């Protein structure tokens, strides 16, 4: 066990965990940040996506010791009340069905848009292909990414 001071969503969280524990389970089991979801545990589905120093990262395969000095953002940190342009776009387009994958989808999309304000369809595809939505909301995810991009330009 080791003590980590993690910088998450602008706050510092303490976690006394085994250094190999994936960030996903530290968030969910120790820090009560359950917006980040478990889907596969092997970087295949994207449900656990968070930002590590601004990069969309699959938290299920990142040991907490690798991110002890990093700046981490989870879906709870996009905005608490749903005012981040990506959250607003997701709401306006009414994307969710079951909703389970959507935190990961939004984290991937927001990381893309932070770097590339005007992504082409191809670039959106390249970013989003790693996130599975079992309910099949892909069309709306596409529309929402476009809408979020437009919102961010304003």
Partner 1 sequence: MSTNQSRRDFFKTSATAAGGLVLGFGWFSSEAFEPGVLTKTAADTIDFNAYLAIAPSGIITIYSPNPEIGQGIKTAFPIIVAEELDADWSKVKVEQAPLDTKKFERQVTGGSGAIRHSWERLRKAGATARAMLMEAAAKKWSVPISECSTSKGFVMHSSGKKLSYGELATDAAQIAPPTTVKLKDKSNFTLIGTSVKGVDSKDILTGKNLFGIDYKREGMLNAMIQRPPAFGLKLKSFDATEAKKMPGITDVVSFGNKVAIVGKTTWEVMQARKAVKIEWEKEKDLESSADHDRIFKEMLNSTTATVHRKDGDIEAAFKNAYKVIEAEYQCPFLPHSPMEPMNFFAHFKGDSIEMAGPSQTPQSAQNQIAKMFNMAPEKVTIELTRMGGGFGRRLNTDYAVEAAELSSIIKAPVKVTWSREDDTAGGIYRPAVRYRFKASIDKAGNITGYMLHGAGMNAGNATRPDNFPVGAIENTLIQSNDHKSPITTGPWRAPITNFLAYAEQAFLDEVAMAGGKDPIQLRMELLDKSIKSPVGKITYEPERFREAIKLVADKAGWGKKKKGVYQGFSVYFSHNSYVAQIAEMANVKGKPVLKKVYASVDCGIVINESSAQNQVYGAIVDGLGHAMYGNLTFKDGAPQQDNFNKYRLIRYNEVPDIEVHFVKNGIDPTGLGEPALPPTGGAIANAIFKTTGKRLYNQPFSEQGATLG
> Which residues lie near ligand FES (CB under 6 A)?
38-41, 43-48, 58, 60, 96-102, 133-135, 137
- Contacted entry of partner 1, ligand FES, none for residue 58, CB cut-off 5 to 8 Å set by kind: ligand FES
Contact 78, 69 (CB under 8 A): no
CB of 29 to ligand FES, least distance (A): 14
How far CA 144 is from CA of 22, 74, 108, 110, 149, in Å, comes to 30, 19, 12, 11, 8
CB of 23 to ligand FES, least distance (A): 10
Which of residues 81 and 120 has its CB atom nearest to partner 1 in the complex? 81
How far CA 28 is from CA of 35, 36, 47, 129, in Å, comes to 8, 7, 13, 24
CB of 130 to partner 1, least distance (A): 8
């Amino acid at each position: 066990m080791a003590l980590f001071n993690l910088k998450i969503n602008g706050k510092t969280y303490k976690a006394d965990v085994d250094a190999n524990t994936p960030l996903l389970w530290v968030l969910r089991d120790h820090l009560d940040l359950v917006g980040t979801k478990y889907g596969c545990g092997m970087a295949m589905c994207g449900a656990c996506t968070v930002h590590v120093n601004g990069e969309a990262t699959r938290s299920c395969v990142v040991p907490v010791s690798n991110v002890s000095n990093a700046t981490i953002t989870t879906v709870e940190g996009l905005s608490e009340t749903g005012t981040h342009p990506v959250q607003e776009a997701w709401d306006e387009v009414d994307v969710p069905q079951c909703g389970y994958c959507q935190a990961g989808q939004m984290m991937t999309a927001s990381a893309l848009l932070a770097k590339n304000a005007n992504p082409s369809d191809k670039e959106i595809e390249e970013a989003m292909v790693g996130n599975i939505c079992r309910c099949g909301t892909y069309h709306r995810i596409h529309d929402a990414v476009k809408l979020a991009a437009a919102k961010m330009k304003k």
